[in-house]
Structure 1
């Protein structure tokens, strides 16, 4: 199951103004702004109704920035995803572990697929 998605945008101010307006009728709003030090030095914001699932990040969209996070049933599944992805030729982009800057129970792992897309497995359940 898809947990969330992030894609690159070229102008942060223009895009946030657009999505603030366009998503409001759907009941979605800005819920979380990731500090640049936790987002690879770029501005990043998540939209949602009760939790962010639709993310945009300042980046060159022509470079194909794409981040997809897949929901994992538990932390062991996150660990297994990471190991299997690396064994299949993926590249490390963040080993399994807690990410408390998102929330207290966030546990994720990140790999880059063969085309450089950032693929994540995440578990939101307490340890």
Structure 2
């Protein structure tokens, strides 16, 4: 249903460094930097697995932090995302684990990014045997 989403960041280079590390365990990376002639000189980059779906734009962040959840293919990816995001300077906002109040196989982890957004990785698959 959602094709892509974008957020603003107060410091593009800090956010880029964070997301480069945090999204790597999910198989996502920075796939594109938009040429500055198309953005009036504003830094804009898109992350994804096969095409950009999560966009960072340099500028004043929204006054209210956002919540973004990234799909993980396994619970191990959720664990690796959480560890990588913390190592990249994120703040813990919920260790990896089941959240059965959403559904029995909802396995997620939450961190706060450099701009105060609540970033999550979630796997909806049952635990692998």
Distance 2:126 2:88 in 1: 29
Gaps of 5+ in 1: 6-61
Q: Aligned ranges for residues 18-97 of structure 1 at < 5 Å?
A: 63-97=63-97
Distance 1:114 1:90 in 2: 7
Distance 1:65 1:88 in 2: 19
Distance 2:92 2:117 in 1: 11
Give the TM-score of the pair, scaled to structure 1. 0.51
> Residue 94 of structure 1: CA displacement?
0.3
The SS at the match of 1:122 is: strand
> Residue 108 of structure 1: CA displacement?
0.1
RMSD, matched Cα: 1.6
Figure out how many residues of one structure are paired with residues of the other and give that number.
68
The superposition leaves residues 62-117 of structure 1 with CA deviations (integer Å, 9 ceiling, x where unpaired) of 63220000000000000000000000000000000000000000000000001110
Gaps of 5+ in 2: 6-61
Distance 2:116 2:76 in 1: 24
Give the TM-score of the pair, scaled to structure 2. 0.50
